[in-house]
Amino acid sequence: DRKMAEITDYGFVLWDGKSSGSIANVIELLKRNKKSLVYFSPEKRFYSVSNIEELRKLLKKCDSESIRDISNKISLNSFLRELESIKQSAINF
């Protein structure tokens, strides 16, 4: 996932609202200031994710059990804090 995020220009992610791997890919891209186009299958809609706020909006569309499962598998809160830190570093520069 990290290597893919390094070599690609953007991501195209199919997400069922439950897969932790798909969200991990989006996060890896965001860490590198790269966008993702996410097809959110429960709504049959596309969402552009280019910053942490857009990621949070997408995550809010999921049920709490799915978010809990994702959090347990990939330490979602740690990733979100890391993205916030990256964002703050960019602002302070």
User: With helix as H, strand as E and coil as C, how does 1-43 read?
Assistant: CHHHHHHCCCEEEEECCCCHHHHHHHHHHHHCCCCEEEEECCC
Tens of pLDDT, residues 17-73: 999 999 999 999 999 999 999 999 999 999 999 999 999 999 999 999 999 999 999
Stretch 70-83: mean pLDDT, rounded?
Answer: 88
Distance CA 92, CA 60 (A): 28
At residue 93, the pLDDT reads 54
Using CB atoms within 10 A of its CB, is residue 18 exposed (0-12), middle (13-18) or buried (19+)? middle
Model confidence pLDDT, tens digit, residues 2-16: 888 889 999 999 999
Per the structure block, which two tokens stand in for 64? 């709490």
